[in-house]
A and B are shown apart, each in its own frame.
Chain A
Amino acid sequence: MLDFKTMRLFFSLLTLAANAVVAAGLLLIVGARVSATVARVRDAALASLVGWELRLAFLVATVATLGSLYYSEVVNLVPCQYCWYQRIAMYPLALILGVAAWKRDHAVSIYVVPIAVIGTLISAYHYFLQRFPRFGSGQCSTTTPCNAAYFKLFGFVSIAYQAISAFALILLLMAVVRATSRADTPS
């Protein structure tokens, strides 16, 4: 029942859900600057997330890490060079965010944001190569080509895209961490 087809669809649906959350978050951040109503919605959203931001970021990093391990260790999809770079960025986030969620250490965002930004940039470049393979070597290595996606569900959701989405959601949650920390800090 939980075969590769099902799991990759599950991770792809999670990716779309993450995209929706990030899009909504960005709309709230931008909209709150111009609309008092949107600012109230943003504040309500922030209030409801207080105490959960780090745990949610930990959950995102953990699911991304487990998903990556599922692809390589269960389904035996060999990670390419850029996949490894993304793993280098994502795996420590699961640990760092886990400890931070346990300790409720909101200062962790200062460590998480640079790693997640680097991960996003690498994933974005990897995804670019998959969309425009001739910009890379112009061929597909028969071993572990970075410019050939193992799959592209819905025509665009590849593993690199899933990684971009996870990093972006973690960055959004770090923005929430900073916002709630500021609100929490007496002036």
Chain B
Amino acid sequence: MTRRAGSRPPAAKPAFPVIGVVFVGLAVLLALAIVLSGGDSGDTDDDAAAPQITGATLPQLPDMQLEQPEDDPGFGLAAPEVTGQDYAGNTVEITHDGIPRAIVFLAHWCSVCQGEVSEIQAWLNDGGGVEGVELLSVSTWATSTRDNYPPSAWLERENWTTPIIADDDDASLLTSFGGNGVPFWVFLDADSKVVFRISGGMNAATLQSILELLRG
């Protein structure tokens, strides 16, 4: 006869103190965690002044896939002007100065952005880019509770050579350009009007061809 569910068979005496081993193990791991996390992690908060943004906020890029760049509600609208800082305290600007620009918004914790930075930097190292078209990056949505913090250390590790503007804690810069995810690319013509926006990773060959279109 098999034992029925719900019946209470006599508990066998264990060969060794299982519960003792479990709780000692838990205590040892907790002590180990306290000791190992007690030291200085080397993490420091990035300190850059919040960007100053002037001009109208661009409408948010729709979530759906757009058939044509003209389907973007931000197409043809003038981008906001920005005066911000990189993590070294240098001023970096987005102004209506007649220079076409490609701006990529990145977050340190986003794995897609991590791949994007490596790929774009490798492309730049191989001579990628177009004379007369400025490539800019915005480090946005930084938070110490997420992976790969701080962003300055990440970008330094990647030898990121593209100028960076640090966004504020509310991601105001990302919002003002209509971004709802990262990586987020915004391409501006010489009149600083939106030619194309896309949310998601972009390969180097596509980027190169868009930059060539921007140069005209």
Contacts and interface: CB of A to CB of B under 8 A. Distances in A.
Contact of B5 (A14, A105, A145): A105
Contact of B112 (A76, A140, A142): A140
B147 A152 contact: yes
Contacts of B6: 103, 105, 107
A104 B9 contact: yes
B15 A142 contact: no
A139 B56 CA distance: 25
Interface string B86-125: 0000000000000000000001011111010000000000
A152 to B, nearest CB: 6
B9 A52 contact: no
B58 to A, nearest CB: 16
Contacts of A2: 34
Given A13-B29, A142-B179, A151-B147, A186 B200 contact: no
Contacts of A38: none
Contacts of B157: none
Nearest to A145: B110
Interface residues of A, number: 52
Interface stretch (A25-33, A84-92, A129-137): A129-137
Contacts of A184: 3, 9
Interface centre among A48, A77, A108, A184 (most CB of B within 10 A): A48
Contacts of A76: 145
A96 interface: no
B14 A48 contact: yes
B3 A142 contact: no
Nearest to B34: A6
A104 B8 contact: yes
A2 B41 CA distance: 15
Interface residues of B, number: 52
B8 to A, nearest CB: 5
A51 B141 CA distance: 50
B180 A142 contact: yes
A48 B145 CA distance: 41
Interface in B1-39: 1-9, 11-16, 18-19, 22, 25-26, 29-30, 32-34, 36-38
B182 interface: yes
A50 B146 contact: no
A9 B3 contact: no
B166 interface: no
B51 interface: no
Nearest to B201: A138
A51 B11 contact: yes
B27 to A, nearest CB: 11
Interface of A: 1-7, 9-10, 13-14, 17, 44, 47-52, 55-56, 59, 75-77, 103-108, 130-131, 133-134, 137-142, 145, 147-152, 181, 184-186
28 contacts: A2-B34, A4-B145, A5-B41, A6-B34, A6-B37, A13-B29, A14-B29, A47-B15, A48-B14, A48-B15, A48-B16, A48-B18, A51-B11, A51-B12, A104-B7, A106-B3, A131-B111, A138-B201, A139-B199, A140-B181, A142-B107, A142-B141, A148-B146, A149-B109, A150-B145, A150-B146, A152-B147, A185-B3
Given A6-B37, A9-B36, A75-B145, 15 more contacts: A1-B34, A14-B29, A44-B15, A47-B12, A48-B14, A48-B15, A49-B14, A51-B11, A104-B8, A105-B6, A130-B111, A133-B111, A142-B141, A147-B112, A150-B109
